[in-house]
Amino acid sequence: MTSITASNASSASSAGTGVLTGTPVVPGVALGPVVTVTSEVPADVVQAYEARDPASPDDALATYDEAVGVVADSLVARSSNASGAASEVLVATANLVKDKGLRKAVKKRLDAGEPLLGALRGAVEQFATLFTQMGGLMAERVTDLHDIERRLTARIVGAPEPGLSTPDEPSVLVAEDLAPADTAGLDPAFVVALVTEQGGPTSHTAIIARQLGIPCVVGVHGATGLAPGTRVLVDGATGAVETEVDEADAAERVRKDQEWRAHLDAWSGPAATKDGTTVKVMANVADGASAEKAVAYPVEGVGLFRTELCFLDSSEEPSVEEQSEVYAAVLRPFADGRTVVVRTLDAGSDKPIAYATPKGEENPALGIRGLRLSFDNPGLLDRQIEGIALAAEKTGSSPWVMAPMVATVEEAETFAGRVRKHGLTVGVMVEIPSAALLAEQILEVVDFMSIGTNDLTQYSMAADRMSAGLAHLTDPWQPAVLRLIAMTAAAGKKHGKPVGVCGEAAADPALATVLVGMGITSLSMAPNAVRAVGAQLGATSDEACTRAAEVALAASDPHEARAAVRAVLDA
Ligand code: PEP
Ligand code: MG
């Protein structure tokens, strides 16, 4: 049974213009025929089934149970061919199919006289509403619920199971958006690129594509209109999906890209531009285990240790001694003289911590999170700084300490006083536009700044960083965000103090050249991104970095900025 439709025939693009564009997520160039994920069960088959239903409630429940068994078994079988997170996603979806609560809700509706498909639809809606109200991770499972509804419906009416099965030749997968169960089963040998109509850089599709290293473009308007089998060239660096492909030219571009990727694998640091201007390329880590992994990469230290991630499951504040052990586990692998930047608790909003985050805030992203936790509870911050100082002593290292969510000069000054009492280097994050606007004054009272582009973008554009529907706004290439970064970098140059970037923007090789051109001195990112960034900087002259910054700042939108920078880098 295959639910992917691909034909070998090369058909004309349905786009007409020859190029569709979206938000680039994972760089890389790939060529292949379009395969589409069938997400809907054919309406005529459903109607025909509904016309011949009604079965008795007991018979209908037996049909439901049979469908549950088959769909769950198929997901479990796929999970045994997958590994890690992918396998876990498939098992979790299989468990949701077999959920007793869902069965009970279906049965209740059947007993009340509803036909089977209506009962299934109603029960799924009931759970989807509940999950949405619960918010957070439960809300994210609504996609899984709708996915299993389609799979069960298909089985009940006798249609092929919707979703993704492995194509028989290397193909470009095009979808509205991908269900977690679909992305989990992706085989990079057969799916050479991902293109989705919906979703943003933080969508599930984007995260899995990054993990697997599959070139990916999201938010491509018109993508699902492409006829299956159309040969397309996907450029995950520019966001272009070319639908009128010159085969020879495309093959040459793919070859060059593969050559470049092989070059990336060989990059071993330290980072510098082609002219030798040094840039610190560093790792973002979450705990001791991730620090142990990061140290194997060519990084010059840790540019962001998100301490709150160590305490997400703690119901009570750990003692200073306990905290020092947690921090020492991150400092130790880098205690050979490399810098580790420890960020104090950024609890709140999307990362609530039981013992620190206030309950029941109307709007937690704009509420008491990050440094603001210390306004009413200064002891919480002081004990954390003490724990960091103790860890420094235990490991013989000199961590830098920075505060998240700083808005004013006074906040920066108070924080600096607390950290300097322990003889440590102190800095603040630039995540709130006011901190960028006040960078010159703030740098008078701290030793360094680190720009958190994820939140800086969210707060500059007033767009929730998790909202797929606002992905075009939560893009660090937005000119307003670039100007705030440039302003902060200029303040750093004026004071002769380091200004780094530790948000996702640092992991984008083209954007990295822009940031360095503005005067950013360090870039901190997920370790698997360092080679691409380091290699790009090594291939770019100082003059090209400066020019890249100029053209990006002069652009009026992210698309124009990316294209202008690409032209500078290609030249
Ligand atoms: C940021 O906001 O860019 C940042 C690095 O912090 P976090 O992603 O942890 O909010
Ligand atoms: Mg942040």
Are residues 202 and 175 part of one domain? yes
Are residues 142 and 184 part of one domain? no
Are residues 239 and 97 part of one domain? no
The reported pLDDT for the residue numbered 404 is 98
Nearest ligand 1 atom to the CA of 284 is: 5
**Average pLDDT score, the chain:** 89
Q: CATH number for the domain including 332?
A: 3.20.20.60
Residue 555: inside a domain? no
Are residues 150 and 70 part of one domain? yes
Residue 562: inside a domain? no
Is pLDDT larger for residue 56 or for residue 411? 411
Query: Considering just the CA atoms, what is the radius of gyration of the chain in Å?
Result: 26
CB atoms within 10 A of CB 422: 16
CB atoms within 10 A of CB 108: 15
**Ligand 2 center from residue 78 Cα (angstroms):** 36
- What is the pTM for the complete model shown? 0.75
Residue 279: inside a domain? yes
**Ligand 2 center from residue 128 Cα (angstroms):** 29
Residue 560: inside a domain? no
Cβ–ligand 1 distance for 432 under 6 Å, the answer no
Query: Which residue's alpha carbon is at the smallest distance from atom 3 of ligand 1?
Result: 452
Which pLDDT band, with edges at 50, 70 and 90, does 204 fall under?
low
Cβ–ligand 1 distance for 503 under 6 Å, the answer yes
**Integer Cα distance of 229 and 171 in angstroms:** 9
Both tokens assigned to 427: 């800095």
216 is catalytic: no
310 is catalytic: no
> Which residue in 402, 395, 405 sits closest to 416, CA to CA?
402
- Which of the listed residues 502, 520, 525 should we mutate to test ligand 1's pocket, taking the one with most ligand atoms within 8 A of CB? 502
Which pLDDT band, with edges at 50, 70 and 90, does 136 fall under?
low
pLDDT digits (tens, 9 = 90+) for 392-437: 999 999 999 999 999 999 999 999 999 999 999 999 999 999 999 9
**Integer Cα distance of 524 and 373 in angstroms:** 25
Runs of H (alpha helix) within 36-184: 43-52, 57-81, 84-97, 100-111, 116-134, 136-140, 142-157, 180-184
Domain tally for the chain? 3
- Which of the listed residues 455, 474, 502, 504 should we mutate to test ligand 1's pocket, taking the one with most ligand atoms within 8 A of CB? 455
Cβ–ligand 1 distance for 454 under 6 Å, the answer yes
Residue 549: inside a domain? no
Nearest ligand 1 atom to the CA of 450 is: 5
pLDDT digits (tens, 9 = 90+) for 457-498: 999 999 988 776 788 888 899 999 999 999 999 999 999 999
Are residues 285 and 237 part of one domain? no
Considering 216, 310, 495, 502, which one is annotated as catalytic? Answer: 502
pLDDT digits (tens, 9 = 90+) for 206-225: 767 776 778 999 889 899 89
Nearest ligand (C-alpha, residue 503) = 1
- Residue 20: which residues within 8 A CB-CB, separation 6 or more? 220, 221, 222, 223, 226, 240, 241, 243
The reported pLDDT for the residue numbered 215 is 92
> Which residue in 333, 292, 285, 341 sits closest to 526, CA to CA?
285
Both tokens assigned to 528: 């698997």
Both tokens assigned to 2: 């295959």
- Of 229, 264, 299, the residue at which a domain comes to its end is 264
- Between strands 425-430 and 448-451, the pairing is parallel
HSE-up of 342 (CA within 13 Å, CB side)? Answer: 33
Bond preceding residue 270 cis, omega within 30 of 0: yes
Are residues 151 and 201 part of one domain? no
Nearest ligand 1 atom to the CA of 455 is: 2
Query: Which residue's alpha carbon is at the smallest distance from atom 4 of ligand 1?
Result: 452
Which residues form the domain of 129?
A: 43-157
The percent of residues above 70 in pLDDT, for the chain, comes to 91
Q: Is 29 helix (H, G, I), strand (E, B) or coil?
A: strand
Considering 204, 216, 310, 495, which one is annotated as catalytic? Answer: 204
Tokens 């996609």 belong to 143
Q: CATH number for the domain including 129?
A: 1.10.274.10
Length, in residues, of the chain? 571
Residue 81: inside a domain? yes
Cβ–ligand 1 distance for 476 under 6 Å, the answer no
Mean pLDDT is lowest, of 7-16, 230-239, 404-413, for 7-16
Cβ–ligand 1 distance for 453 under 6 Å, the answer yes
Which pLDDT band, with edges at 50, 70 and 90, does 8 fall under?
very low
**Integer Cα distance of 341 and 489 in angstroms:** 18
Are residues 201 and 137 part of one domain? no
Both tokens assigned to 388: 């960091």
Both tokens assigned to 421: 């009492």
Are residues 135 and 231 part of one domain? no
Determine the residue type at 252: E
**Ligand 1 center from residue 515 Cα (angstroms):** 17
Are residues 427 and 399 part of one domain? yes
DSSP 8-state code for residue 332 = G
Are residues 240 and 222 part of one domain? yes
Residue 207: inside a domain? yes
- Of 157, 182, 199, the residue at which a domain comes to its end is 157
Mean pLDDT is lowest, of 88-92, 303-307, 438-442, for 88-92
Residue 550: inside a domain? no
Which pLDDT band, with edges at 50, 70 and 90, does 37 fall under?
confident
pLDDT digits (tens, 9 = 90+) for 320-374: 999 999 999 999 999 999 999 999 999 987 788 889 988 888 888 999 999 999 9
Nearest ligand (C-alpha, residue 304) = 1
- Of 264, 280, 315, the residue at which a domain comes to its end is 264
Are residues 179 and 144 part of one domain? no
Both tokens assigned to 310: 């160590």
Are residues 492 and 425 part of one domain? yes
> Which residue in 329, 286, 292 sits closest to 310, CA to CA?
286
- Residue 189: which residues within 8 A CB-CB, separation 6 or more? 170
The reported pLDDT for the residue numbered 441 is 98
**Integer Cα distance of 95 and 75 in angstroms:** 9
